[in-house]
Amino acid sequence: MNETPIKRSQRPRLHIFASKFAKAMFITIMAIAVLSFIGTRMFTHVDLNLYGYMVGTVVFLGGMFYRFIAWSERPPTKILLKKGIRVLFLGSTPKTTVEHLGTYRFIWNRGLYRWIQHVMLGWGTILACLITFPLVFGWMYFTMEENGTYTVVAMGMNLMQISADGVMIFLFSNGLNIAGVMVTIGAAMAIYRRRKNMQARAEQSFLYDYLPLYLLLFVSVTGLLLTFSNIALHGWGHYTMSLIHQFSVIVTLIYVPFGKLAHVPFRPLSIFAKNYREHYGNQSMKKCKVCGENFVSTEQSNDVIDVLKMNNIDFQMEDGFHLAELCLPCRRKYRLSRFSGVPTHGIKAKEANQHAEG
């Protein structure tokens, strides 16, 4: 009896990893281990005092991978990532990158106070990460020479020699202090605004909005107290404060993927959204079915309708149009009219909180 051969595509595959999350996490940990092996010159320059930070960072990476993979599996996200990558190399990408990740121009439209607050928090956190993570994994460290100079070692290679009393060593030694001051100012400004602004007070909750700021403030203040202990107190209480600071950093790293601060690592993806809107907006714009004004690209309107269908949600109205084919003011008026019975012409087009641009 002849047996039909099984095609290669029909054969069961042996899955080494249980999930995409497990695969991504394994590859990342192995990459970090290899880079640390190279950076520490075969683990001969490992600072065991930073072991706790290393464990916290690994847990942080696991949480971020879990959240990103769960987020990327959603239908709207798949569309954004797929089409965002397709239009990533547009001419406007460098400008968008600078405005969204460097100058925070989109926050400038909301006021000088909030712009300073975001610059302090954003760049303070970035500076702290750029210094801390290479030190924790041994990608960068310093060796003291007999002639009164330091050698900066990066990825196992001698990068440069700097004077022990020069400007460069001062910046290297106080980089985390500078970052701590910036984060302290930014977090304090954010807490003050949330306490004084009536609209912010009505919309904020402690666990989601205040707790991340208190954690950042705790991390930065305890880090600055370490320097104060060394300089002003001649090392008194340094060991206890170093444990408190390390504990605060580890708790914050573990919290980040599961709270509001997770939007910071996701922030670069805003470039995808901006390019997506600009590229397809230049091709064709969708006119509102009520007022006739252009409000989004035709591509985005169609994508919204397709995503809603994937989730078995139908907003096809009795008046012959889809709710996604209305601009935001007309959509609010239409929905308020349906729920309240008030004619659409009797409802204001904009709500009181629709005053922020950008």
Instruction: Kindly state whether residues 266 and 289 are assigned to the same domain.
Output: no
Q: Which long-range contacts (CB under 8 A, 24 or more apart) does 43-52 make?
A: 43/138, 45/138, 45/141, 45/153, 46/138, 47/135, 47/138, 47/141, 49/242, 50/135, 50/136, 52/246, 52/247, 52/250
Instruction: Kindly state whether residues 34 and 114 are assigned to the same domain.
Output: yes
Instruction: Kindly state whether residues 258 and 313 are assigned to the same domain.
Output: no
Q: Kindly provide the b/e burial profile for residues 163-186, where b requires at least 16 CB atoms within 10 angstroms of the residue's own CB.
A: eeeeeebeebeeebeebbbbbbbb
**pLDDT reading at 182 higher than 90:** yes
Tokens of 19: 């999930």
**pLDDT reading at 303 higher than 60:** yes
Instruction: Kindly state whether residues 25 and 84 are assigned to the same domain.
Output: yes
Q: Is 46 among the domain residues?
A: yes
Range of the domain at 304: 285-346
Residues 6+ apart with CB under 8 A from 177: 223, 224, 227
pLDDT value of position 228: 92
Q: Is 266 among the domain residues?
A: yes
Instruction: Kindly state whether residues 193 and 325 are assigned to the same domain.
Output: no
**pLDDT reading at 358 higher than 50:** no
pLDDT value of position 220: 95
Given 235, 270, 305, the domain boundary residue is 270
Instruction: Kindly state whether residues 99 and 212 are assigned to the same domain.
Output: yes
Number of domains composing the chain: 2
Q: Is 13 among the domain residues?
A: no
- What are the pLDDT digits (tens) for 250-296? 999 999 988 888 888 888 888 888 888 888 888 888 888 777 888 88
Q: Is 117 among the domain residues?
A: yes
Q: Which long-range contacts (CB under 8 A, 24 or more apart) does 323-328 make?
A: 325/286, 325/288, 325/289, 325/301, 326/288, 326/289, 326/290, 327/288, 327/290, 327/291, 327/293, 327/295, 328/295
When comparing pLDDT for 159 and 11, which is higher? Answer: 159
Distance (Å) of CA 292 to CA 70, 322, 341, 357: 37, 14, 23, 22
Given 238, 270, 302, the domain boundary residue is 270
CA–CA gap between residue 343 and residue 350 (Å, rounded): 15
CB 187 within 8 A of CB 217: yes
Residues 6+ apart with CB under 8 A from 266: 68, 71
Instruction: Kindly state whether residues 217 and 300 are assigned to the same domain.
Output: no
Q: Which of 253, 242, 212 is nearest to 56 (CA)?
A: 253
Instruction: Kindly state whether residues 334 and 199 are assigned to the same domain.
Output: no
- What are the pLDDT digits (tens) for 93-148? 888 888 888 888 888 888 899 999 999 999 999 999 999 998 888 888 888 877 77
Instruction: Kindly state whether residues 234 and 323 are assigned to the same domain.
Output: no
CATH number at residue 92: 1.20.950
Highest mean pLDDT among 147-161, 218-232, 310-324: 218-232
CA–CA gap between residue 293 and residue 278 (Å, rounded): 17
Q: Is 299 among the domain residues?
A: yes
Specify the pairing of strand 285-287 against strand 294-297: antiparallel
Instruction: Kindly state whether residues 252 and 321 are assigned to the same domain.
Output: no
Instruction: Kindly state whether residues 115 and 32 are assigned to the same domain.
Output: yes
Q: Which of 351, 335, 187, 356 is nearest to 260 (CA)?
A: 187
Q: Which amino acid is at 153?
A: V
pLDDT value of position 338: 67
Q: Is 1 among the domain residues?
A: no
Count of positions (residues) in the chain: 358
CA end-to-end span of the chain: 72
CB 323 within 8 A of CB 346: no
Instruction: Kindly state whether residues 264 and 342 are assigned to the same domain.
Output: no
Residues 6+ apart with CB under 8 A from 328: 295
